[in-house]
Amino acid sequence: MIQVLFYLFAGVAIGGALGVVMSKSPVGSLLFMVATLASIAATYVLLEAHFLAAIQVIVYAGAIMVLFLFVIMLLNLGHDYQKDLKGGLFALISFGVVGALAGVLAREVGAIGITETPAGGLAIDAALVEHGVVGAIAQPLYTTYVVPFEITGILLLVAIVGAVVLAKKGPV
């Protein structure tokens, strides 16, 4: 049953990602992105990574999507009143393509036949016992990966400032 749910959520994530790229309006694109991020959070739950699932929903599907919505509102991009979702044949073909891709992936993953526990899993279990779930994630994040973490924050700040400057009326 878990494999069926995994492939279902994977199909929703792939379909949502395609919807983000193919959507005509930015608000529709944003809604597809929320569906994609929610299905990734559901996949984390299936993998028993509940902390990552909660962070995925709170940070990405919550805060970042609200930030994107404010940027869209600042830039006045949401005035295209065309229908976003195509009906009929397009939906049927999309469902068939996603189902075929899921079937091919299921066959390939089943053919690999992973039976032994990787060595990395034992290291993760040892870190969980030593530091707990939050500590096992926070330790490398704030020691080894602190520079990329801070650079990501600076990039988000620059993106917000750039959106405000572009949305500003009058000379710069």
76: CATH: 1.20.120.1200
Give per-residue pLDDT as tens, 53-75: 888 888 887 777 777 777 777 77
Confidence of residue 14 (pLDDT cuts 50, 70, 90): very high
* CA proximity to 85, closest of 10, 9, 22: 22
Residue 137 shares a structural domain with residue 149: yes
The yes-or-no verdict on residue 151 having pLDDT over 60 is: yes
The yes-or-no verdict on residue 117 having pLDDT over 60 is: no
Domain count, the chain: 2
pTM: 0.51
Quick one: average pLDDT of 112-119? 56
Q: Give the domain range for residue 70.
A: 1-115
Residue at which a domain ends, from 69, 87, 115? 115
The yes-or-no verdict on residue 81 having pLDDT over 90 is: no
Helix H segments across the chain? 2-22, 26-46, 50-55, 65-75, 89-112, 119-142, 146-167
Residue 73 shares a structural domain with residue 97: yes
Give per-residue pLDDT as tens, 16-44: 999 888 888 777 888 888 889 889 988 98
